[in-house]
Chains A and B, each alone.
Chain A
């Protein structure tokens, strides 16, 4: 089959487990975790691709791919059901030489060199499905071309005290990267890698092969490919990004990132028509705010039916909140039912749960004396919480209680 040449192909690493999301990633990969009332995390990089004019995207899956595969489907919700290109889910596969899982981010791309080669691209954009942000990748590719670079890495200025948590770039004034340190104890810069790379494909292809032949290597972009290119004096530049960008890899950051959509001062405008975030929409009627409901400072998706009190919360599609129930500073994922008189505070409740009458999930920080005992409570997906059951702050519930 002939393939039409594409200038740019995106490869989206979506195989991560997201182990620090615990109960929320038991049965789905991190990029499939619901976010912002109607999205899943992967909607952000996928929509960014489409809005940037990139119409060929490989999605590399490995950990718990069922939800993600079904969600992506033929790519129609993102306009990625294309005759040439479009979205392709790329799981690990067996070859004549044997079978192998993706053993690292670089190995995952290595195993799909044939996929990329079919489109004969000049550039490959490497993305991850872990972050919430809006970014025009076309501008970054233009920057890559303008600088005549071999690799371009998107960077964000982070507070110095947080720098040791990131891959840190040191760059000259014109953007040339001179040094890279993965989670340095004493950072020399506060430019953090966002995990978004543009490579000239011919160059990256060779590095992937060399890295694969190196038995010592851990087959990882941050640990192997970037340092190797830097050592060999390849032209590597930093691309500065200053918009909203949030890693949602932990319970706290996922909770915060959801609360950010309610904060008018946070520069993440989901209602902006010029850079839409697409998603697979549930087929449900609009939500119903009942005669007894009291809703403030919240985001409510379609299909919800609310008779209780909602404040500072994000409710996904098809959530029912019965009379007398209270949801405060919490995130309720799709199709969950909160029964009469239940109280949910500072919590994340997963998809398809039932929270029984009078149950109490989480607590507000003011009510907890020992602050080290306080944290967001989490109920995983498909969990039944029986009537009057209590899940304290920081609870991590993945089985019925």
Chain B
């Protein structure tokens, strides 16, 4: 079995932002708030830490202020360490590199960091999958089968609607990936890549170097598709709960999934917790005559109205007579007295004024941008 202390974790903070423009306008995909107190990066990062990985690089591209703020020194993930630990890898970190066009160029920018890690294996992940993933069996699978690249995939009911965002893998009975389709216009039960890959560090270094020489930049196209016959590329099926956030609709659905007790207990397992930044706010306060049902409520909330089937982030205020239903309400947002807020998503620091009524539909939740006053 591979020792996880010999594994380097790499997380791409900015991939897939085009799929979620509303929430990534002012922040990286990795720092999109999720599930009442988390940011999306907490899932891959905690998964790595819980799997025993002690050195992690976060590859950033743009808009990474809120992410750096969130991660700090990495102490919440126990990654503030003398050796290894957490490293944020901004662009221009290496001579001759520029803002990357694809995953391979992003990795080229982190080449020195990868080489100096001296790790035997590298696990790469993006920031758009909500799951509590144990990565140990994936590394073991990779080692046992002597693969060049192991791609983690999950079974998804795929539709053309999701076609813009996904990579579909065809995997045979021996776990060999025999076809890779990027964003195909198909539908049905498919093996969808979770964009989590395992490689030997030396192998990764060699493909980075070779790709640089040939000006190749897309890992999916230039490696997974074009080198499918040259390398041993295997698929590892992940069969626990996961959701790929590839649109506002899946963001909303995945959030509502956290209300399901069974899913919630799996994703927020007490044995392998999802770690996040601590804000030191007092517990939530419920007032006189408030009514709260089927909702997840974070610390610091003050509720005097009605909240149903909703997720309230830290320090949200719901005034007297206000109704919040089927909503995602991010940190510090205020729903003033007698306001109606249904089937909607409010970003941080929003104010829904007194007596105002805003409602979307379950298929198409209304979105209120960060800091807006309605």
* Chain A interface residues (CB < 8 Å from chain B): 36-38, 76-77, 261-262, 270-271, 276-279, 281, 283-302, 305, 310, 314-315
- A281-B278, A283-B273, A300-B284 are contacts. A288–B289 as well, Cβ < 8 Å? no
Are A286 and B297 in contact, CB atoms less than 8 angstroms apart?
yes
**Minimum distance in angstroms from B303 CB to a CB of chain A:** 9
Q: Is the CB of B293 within 8 A of A293?
A: yes
Q: Which residue of A lies closest to B300 (CB)?
A: A271
**Which B residues lie within 8 Å of A300 (CB)?**
283-284, 286, 297
A-B contact pairs, 19 of them (CB 8 A): A36-B282, A36-B283, A37-B282, A77-B280, A277-B282, A285-B36, A285-B37, A286-B297, A286-B298, A286-B299, A289-B297, A291-B293, A292-B293, A293-B293, A297-B288, A299-B282, A299-B283, A302-B283, A302-B299
Q: Please state if A297 and B287 are interface contacts (CB–CB under 8 Å).
A: yes
A295–B285 CA distance with the chains assembled, in angstroms: 10
Tell me the minimal C-beta distance from B354 to chain A in angstroms.
Answer: 20
Total interface residues on B, using CB and 8 Å?
Answer: 40
Q: Does B99 sit within 8 A of A, measured CB to CB?
A: no
A301 — which chain B residues lie within 8 A by C-beta? 283-284, 299
A-chain residues with CB within 8 Å of residue B264 when the two chains form the complex: 285, 288
Is there an interface contact between A283 and B275, defined as CB atoms closer than 8 Å?
A: yes
Q: Which B residues lie at the A interface, using CB under 8 A?
A: 35-37, 75, 258-259, 261, 264, 268, 270, 273-275, 278, 280-300, 302, 307, 311-312, 315
Is A284 within 8 A of B286, CB to CB?
Answer: no
Q: Is the CB of A290 within 8 A of B280?
A: no
Q: Which residues of A contact B278 (CB under 8 A)?
A: 77, 281
Evaluate whether A284 and B270 lie within 8 angstroms (CB atoms) in the complex, with A276-B280, A293-B292, A301-B299 already known: yes
Complex partner residue of B292 from A271, A277, A279, A295, CB under 8 angstroms: A295
Least distance between B310 CB and chain A CB atoms (Å): 10
Which listed residue, B281, B284, B289, B299, touches A296 by the CB 8 Å rule?
B289
Contact of A290 among B258, B289, B294, B300 (CB under 8 A): B294
Q: Assess A289 versus B292: contact at CB under 8 Å? Given A271-B281, A271-B300, A296-B287.
A: yes
How many A-B pairs have beta carbons closer than 8 Å: the answer is 107
CA distance A298 to B292 in the complex (A): 12
Complex: chain A residue closest to B276, CB-CB = A283
Whose C-beta in chain A lies nearest to the C-beta of B295?
A289
Q: Which 5 A-B pairs have the closest CB atoms?
A: A270-B282, A37-B283, A285-B268, A301-B283, A286-B36
Closest to A37 in B: B283
| Nearest CB in chain A to that of B282: its residue | A270
Contacts of A36 in B (CB 8 A): 282-283
Rounded to whole angstroms, the CA-CA distance of A270 and B275 in the bound complex is 24
Residues of B within 8 A of A290 (CB): 293-294
On whether the beta carbons of A285 and B35 are closer than 8 Å, the reply is: yes
Nearest residue (CB) in B for A76 is: B75
Whether the pair A285, B297 counts as a contact (CB closer than 8 A) is no
Given A38-B299, A285-B35, verify A299-B294 contact (CB < 8 Å): no
Contact between B284 and A287 (Cβ–Cβ < 8 Å)? yes
Out of B273, B285, B297, name the residue touching A284 (CB < 8 Å): B273
Q: Which residues of A contact B288 (CB under 8 A)?
A: 296-297
Question: Which B residues are CB-close (under 8 A) to A281?
Answer: 278, 280
* Cα distance, A277 to B282, chains bound together (Å): 8
Residues of chain A contacted by B259 (CB below 8 angstroms): 288
Which residues of the partner chain A approach B280 to less than 8 Å between Cβ atoms? 77, 276-279, 281
Cα A293 to Cα B302 in complex, Å, equals 17
Q: Chain A residues near B315 (CB, 8 Å)?
A: 271
CA distance A289 to B261 in the complex (A): 11
CB distance from A214 to the nearest CB of B (A): 44
- Give the contacting residue for B296; candidates A38, A77, A288, A293; CB below 8 A: A288
Contact indicator B36/A289 (Cβ below 8 Å): no
Query: How far does the Cβ of A381 sit from chain B's closest Cβ, in whole Å?
Result: 19
Contacts of A76 in B (CB 8 A): 75
Beyond known contacts A271-B285, A283-B274, A287-B296: 7 more, CB 8 A cutoff: A76-B75, A281-B280, A285-B296, A286-B311, A288-B264, A288-B297, A299-B285
A12 to B36, CA, bound (A): 36
Chain B CB within 10 A, most for which of A277, A301, A302: A302
Which residues on the B side are within 8 Å of A292 (C-beta)?
293
Given A271-B302, A284-B268, CB of A296 within 8 Å of CB of B286: yes
Task: Enumerate chain B residues within 8 angstroms of A278, measured Cβ to Cβ.
Answer: 280
Closest to B258 in A: A285
Which of B270, B293, B296 touches A286 (beta carbons < 8 Å)?
Answer: B296
Contacts of B291 in A (CB 8 A): 294
How far apart sit A93 and B285, CA to CA, in the bound complex (Å)? 44
- A77-B278, A271-B302, A283-B275 given; A295·B294 CB < 8 A: no
B295 A302 Cβ-Cβ under 8 A: no
Cβ distance B212 to chain A, nearest Cβ, rounded Å = 41
CB-defined contacts of A276 to chain B, threshold 8 Å: 280-281
Which chain A residues border B37 with CB–CB below 8 Å? 285-286, 302
On chain B, the residues within 8 Å of A315 by CB distance are 283
Q: How far is the CB of A59 from chain B (nearest CB, A)?
A: 19
Closest to B302 in A: A271
A270 to B280, CA, bound (A): 10
Name which of B36, B268, B280, B289 has the most chain A CB atoms within 10 A of its CB: B280
Contact B286 A297 (CB under 8 A): yes
Distance between B126 CB and nearest chain A CB, rounded to angstroms? 22
